[in-house]
Amino acid sequence: MILAAENTDCPEHALALADENSSIYLQGIFKAIKSYFKDEEEFLKMFRGERTLSWMDHNPFMSEGFAEFFKSCYLGNLINSWIPAVDNGDVLEKLKKGAKVADVGCGFGITTLMMAKAYPNSTFTGFDFHKESIEKAKESVKKEKINNVKFEVSSASEFPGSDYEFVTFFDCLHDMGDPEGALTHTRNVIKKDDGDGNSSNSGTCMIVEPFAQNELENNVNPVASTFYAASTLICVPNSLAFNGPALGAQAGENRIKDVAMKSGFSHFKRVLETSLNIVYEAKP
């Protein structure tokens, strides 16, 4: 199918099926689905209550496939629209001048690297508890020779550093065993205002989550059905494996806001949305 897309007069097919750097590339989701079949026996054990199933327990096709799938969304939106919209453009100006950034739950580091290349005056650190993902991220740094980014293995509620001006969570907060702990820690290490009450001096947390309405009855559509299916096999089990709240990929704005406010943030705002994601900002 990929070869057919490359050798026809249908460039739009190639964008979806053959161009890994396209914003509508779809092959990643098929690789992720392949992992479901590889993990079938483990899913059965999980549903029978015989075992837990965390992110680390899945076939590698799962993390590879979702990294490719989400990369398409980020290529089309992260630099062009999401970051410019956060905090009324203040984050964009800080990144241009030089800011300290933590990308939490970074996986293969795709978002971290995109931001590092776009904003060379800023410094970026990607954190993830999945050792294999961090190893792949480090390989990408060496390959692309980017000197303003590094990656470390760390949990979301314990990552090192302080006075971060920008902290990001891309499609990962709902998976976590302790999302409130992750945002509480972020609230503690993010830069605060200088005491003059000027909130523009404080850091900003950007939370990108899968698109979802608050009510179940409003999530009856093909996209939500796909997310519910993936969440049942991956997101919810990972959170439960660490005795978490199992927010799931269709948590909705109200539940994400509730977690942020309980974590000590005083400001929470829905910035914008796409067909697949909602972007939120939180400030101390």
pLDDT of residue 2: 43
pLDDT category of residue 193 using cuts at 50, 70 and 90: confident
Give CA–CA dist 62/33, Å, rounded.
7
Nearest of 256, 206, 248 to residue 224 by alpha carbon: 248
What is the distance of C-alpha 277 from the center of its chain?
A: 10
Helix (H, G, I), strand (E, B) or coil at 102: strand
Contacts of 221 (CB under 8 A, 6+ apart): none
For the stretch 79-102, what's the b/e string if a residue is b when 16 or more beta carbons lie within 10 angstroms of its beta carbon? beebbebbbeebbbebbeeebbbb
Which domains does the chain carry?
A: 29-283 (3.40.50.150)
Per-residue pLDDT band for 98 (boundaries 50, 70, 90) equals very high
d(CA 86, CA 275): 18
What pLDDT score does 21 carry?
72
Please list the residues that pair with 268 across neighbouring strands: 282
In this predicted model, what pLDDT tens digit does every residue of 226-240 receive, in sequence order? 899 999 999 999 999
The predicted structure's pLDDT at residue 30: 80
pLDDT digits (tens, 9 = 90+) for 110-127: 999 999 999 999 999 999
What pLDDT score was predicted for residue 31? 86
Q: Which two tokens stand for residue 232?
A: 């049942």
Could you give the percent of the chain with pLDDT greater than 90?
Answer: 79
The mean pLDDT of the chain is 91
- Beta strand 204-210 with 277-283 is antiparallel
Q: Are 263 and 183 in contact (CB under 8 A)?
A: yes
pLDDT band of 1, cuts 50, 70, 90: very low
Q: What is the dihedral of CA 127, 178, 254, 32, to 10 degrees?
A: 60
Is the pLDDT confidence value at 153 over 70? yes
